[in-house]
């Protein structure tokens, strides 16, 4: 079962930004690699499209199998107050997108 409440992401900033930047800078492969690394899964398991839907399904499938405190620690994300898997997926994607964008900015690629 997913743990409960701290804070829900009120405004998505980096996830929409990575979607628009990906057309020009192709950041999706880096985002997929970051997600795979932090979730402890193979890169081949992370699709190139429909990441929200895939991650929501992954969260539902792994809900009782994962140590969520450990997973969220690896992602560097507080426990969202959201109970719906889609809200968790959005919170995770927002944080992972932030990591990829910051890395690209600080390396001078964008």
Q: Is residue 95 part of a domain?
A: yes
> Which residue range forms the structural domain that includes residue 57?
23-105
Give the 3-state secondary structure of residue 110.
coil
Is residue 9 domain-resident?
A: no
Taking the C-alpha atoms of residue 45 and residue 43, their distance in angstroms, rounded to an integer, is 5
Q: Are 80 and 73 in contact (CB under 8 A)?
A: no
Q: What is the DSSP letter of 79?
A: P
**76 occurs within a structural domain:** yes
Rounded Cα gap, residues 64 and 50, in angstroms: 23
Q: Is position 5 within any domain?
A: no
| 3-state class (DSSP) for residue 37 | helix
Q: Is residue 13 part of a domain?
A: no
101 belongs to a structural domain: yes
The reply to whether 1 falls in a domain is: no
Reading the chain (110 residues) residue by residue, the pLDDT tens digits are: 444 433 444 467 898 888 888 778 889 999 999 999 999 999 999 999 999 999 999 999 998 888 888 999 999 988 777 678 888 999 999 999 999 999 999 998 88
């Amino acid at each position: 079962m997913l743990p409960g409440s701290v804070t829900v992401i009120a405004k998505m900033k980096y996830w929409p930004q990575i979607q628009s930047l990906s057309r020009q800078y192709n950041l999706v492969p880096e985002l997929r690699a970051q997600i795979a690394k932090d979730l402890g899964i193979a890169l081949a398991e992370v699709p190139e499209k429909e990441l929200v839907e895939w991650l929501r399904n992954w969260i539902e499938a792994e809900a009782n199998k994962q140590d969520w405190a450990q997973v969220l620690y690896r992602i560097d994300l507080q426990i969202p107050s959201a109970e719906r898997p889609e809200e968790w997926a959005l919170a995770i994607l927002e944080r992972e997108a932030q990591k990829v964008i910051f890395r690209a900015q600080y390396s001078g690629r964008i």
